[in-house]
Amino acid sequence: MNRIEKSFTILKENNKKAFIPYIMAGDGGLEGLVNQLSLLERFGATAIEIGVPFSDPVADGPTIQRAGLRALVNGTTLRGIFAELEKAREIISIPIILMTYLNPIYSYGIEEFVGDIRKVGVDGCIIPDLPIEEEDIITSQLEEAQVELIRLVTLTTPLERIRTISSKGRGFLYTVTVKGITGARNEYDANLHQFLKTVKEVSSIPVMAGFGISTKDQITDLTKHCDGVIVGSKIVDLFEQNRLSEMEELMSSFKQETKMV
């Protein structure tokens, strides 16, 4: 049982929901990454999803694309990210989840990539352009390293495929709440609540809702039907604009008494 499983076990025991913020590594400078992670843990994050900047981010909306470009301009690399995460693990106890695309992993080398994320204390990996039919290229290495592959389902994923995908992991199921890319939304698909309820019924692991979530009202609404939320563009914006008190307010109800070890 790695940190992700332990976190959700603690949440379930305390009847709490999860809040996972997303940040782009290197946005604002890699030297600030450890402080950002520490701040998010203090504000109440259950885990933290860290994006790796990439020149062709097919799942990312404008806010995260701009953050990725800023990070690339700052010279952010995977090796640089790993060096900062190794420092962060000395003070961060909650799970760290790395979000990246296949191309950077191939360029780095799959074996070396998995070995290094284990070394620096990464607990999970999200690879949005890796379909389950092709994930054997990396799953055995991740399993050996005790790093969870976090899989995604969408509003258009057939029910049987959702069952198959959820049966493959032990972390959580990333449930995409919109048809399209990331970015804040004012309203959601009329069938979203029923979709989340259905996914929750068939999934053998916790269900997290992500994409387009940016307000407390949206969080309150969606967490009635799943195990928690993933918030990206809003967190990226708040960091860029240094609106940290607003970030703390958004996350305050998720603060946990129990810290991970």
User: Which one from 5, 27, 56, 60 is the annotated catalytic residue?
Assistant: 60
Name the packing angle between helices 62-73 and 233-240 (round to 10°): 50
Joined together, the tokens standing for residue 32 give 């600030």
Buried b vs exposed e over 113-151: b needs ≥16 C-beta within 10 Å?
bbebbbebbbbbbbbbebeeeeeeebeeebeebebbbbb
Helices (H), the chain: 3-13, 33-43, 62-73, 78-88, 102-108, 110-119, 139-144, 159-166, 192-202, 216-222, 233-240, 244-251
60 is catalytic: yes
First to last CA, the chain: 12
3-class DSSP assignment, residue 92: coil
Degrees, nearest 5: CA angle 166-255-49: 45
Between the alpha carbon of residue 200 and those of residues 76, 181, 223, the distances in Å are 37, 22, 11
CB 256 within 8 A of CB 17: no
CB 125 within 8 A of CB 4: no
Least Cα distance to 239 among 223, 253, 226, 250 occurs for 250
User: Which one from 27, 49, 84, 227 is the annotated catalytic residue?
Assistant: 49
Active site (catalytic) residues: 49, 60
